[in-house]
């Protein structure tokens, strides 16, 4: 009788332990692993508060990258693409006849700390004196037609990655990566033709026929990654993410430490560019959910996932 009682007690104890382990597993879905970079704190070791972070979506297209048709159907609605999935696949195939088969990225290793400065275009950079602070980073990401000439003291001089789309394109030097954010098949055609024969198509705004850029440093953001940002990070707020917000999330995926500058409205609440004279004080963020994006940035900064320099 005593033996049976001890046996029952043992099984009851094992059951309780298993239940507790299962509960803990459900509550804590991330456990720190071996440090993968030479930083004091790596992003990989700080994912617990980044509840939206998912390492699975591939940030950039590569030669054998397969896009699901349902993701294509989501993507084509961003700017009302009328052509079909077959045309998309043929265009991507032609793309890799011109650009490298895989993106040029600094690999994550225990010996390297990849630091990124993500530099937005906000007017709050005026008078910030962040230039030297920005330039010390391994990767300096700028967006669209952001200027540095005449603003070096506040925004720095270096650019390693320029995130753009055809309507915002500018010429680049030979060491800067052109990071294309494609919103339609025309954008993929543009980067191929603008780097070779010259683009002759038409978009909703004027685009450069030819662009100066290093073809070996071109990278194209994966539509699947764009969908992940819109659905997982923004919860479908806004028609689609802004270039600046996509650059921020890209940095979280390719860097070990992320430092953010020039995001949000200026000191008077205007959404303005630091190199332009503000003409319309009622200008907002258009199809993008600017306030939602900024709130997420502040959340990341509060959690110390990124370091955010607000400017003003």
Nearest to 234 by CA among 247, 245, 224, 219: 245
How many CA atoms lie less than 13 Å away from 24 in the CB half-sphere? 7
Q: How many CB atoms lie within 10 A of CB 5?
A: 9
Residue 96, both tokens: 């890799």
What phi and psi values does residue 73 have, to the nearest 5 degrees? -65, -35
- In the residue annotation, 288 being an active-site residue is answered as yes
Burial of 32 (0-12, 13-18, 19+ CB in 10 A): exposed
Between CA 86 and CA 74 the distance in angstroms is 15
Q: 282 and 223 in contact (C-beta within 8 Å)?
A: no
Q: Assess whether 240 carries a catalytic annotation.
A: yes
Alpha-carbon gap, residue 275 to 282, rounded angstroms = 18
Of the residues 274, 288, 294, 309, only one is catalytic, namely 288
Structure tokens at 112: 């390297």
Of 240, 259, 263, 274, the active-site residue reads 240
Whole-angstrom distance, CA of residue 169 vs CA of residue 207:
7
Residue 36 makes CB contacts below 8 A (sequence gap 6+) with 42, 44, 108, 109, 110, 256
3-state secondary structure of 10: helix
Exposed (0-12), middle (13-18) or buried (19+): which is 164, by Cβ within 10 Å? buried
Q: Helix and strand tally (H, E) in the chain? A: 9, 7
Give the active site residues.
240, 288
């Amino acid at each position: 009788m005593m033996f049976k009682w001890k046996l029952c007690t043992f099984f009851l104890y094992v059951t309780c332990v298993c239940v507790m382990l299962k509960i803990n597993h459900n509550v804590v879905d991330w456990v720190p692993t071996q440090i993968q970079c030479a930083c004091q704190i790596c992003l990989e070791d700080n994912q617990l508060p980044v509840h939206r972070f998912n390492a699975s979506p591939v940030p950039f297209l590569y030669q054998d990258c397969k896009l699901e048709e349902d993701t294509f159907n989501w993507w084509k609605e961003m700017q009302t693409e009328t052509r079909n999935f077959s045309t998309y696949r043929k265009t991507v195939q032609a793309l890799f006849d011109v650009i490298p088969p895989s993106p040029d990225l600094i690999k994550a290793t225990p010996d390297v700390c990849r630091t990124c400065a993500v530099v937005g275009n906000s007017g709050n950079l005026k008078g910030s004196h962040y230039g030297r602070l920005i330039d010390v980073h391994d990767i300096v990401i700028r967006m669209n037609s952001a200027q540095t000439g005449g603003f070096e003291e506040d925004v720095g001089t270096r650019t390693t990655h320029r995130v753009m789309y055809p309507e915002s394109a500018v010429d680049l030097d030979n060491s800067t990566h052109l990071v294309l954010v494609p919103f339609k098949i025309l954008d993929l055609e543009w980067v191929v033709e603008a780097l070779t024969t010259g683009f002759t198509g038409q978009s909703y705004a004027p685009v450069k026929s030819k662009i100066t850029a290093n073809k070996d440093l071109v990278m194209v953001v994966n539509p699947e990654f764009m969908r992940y940002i819109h659905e997982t990070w923004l919860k479908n707020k806004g028609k689609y993410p802004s270039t600046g917000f996509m650059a921020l999330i890209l940095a979280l995926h390719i860097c070990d430490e992320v430092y953010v500058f020039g995001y949000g409205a200026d000191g008077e609440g205007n959404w303005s560019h630091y190199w332009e004279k503000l003409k319309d004080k009622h200008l907002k963020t258009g199809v993008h959910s600017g306030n939602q994006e900024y709130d997420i940035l502040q959340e990341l900064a509060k959690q110390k996932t990124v370091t955010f320099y607000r400017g003003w």
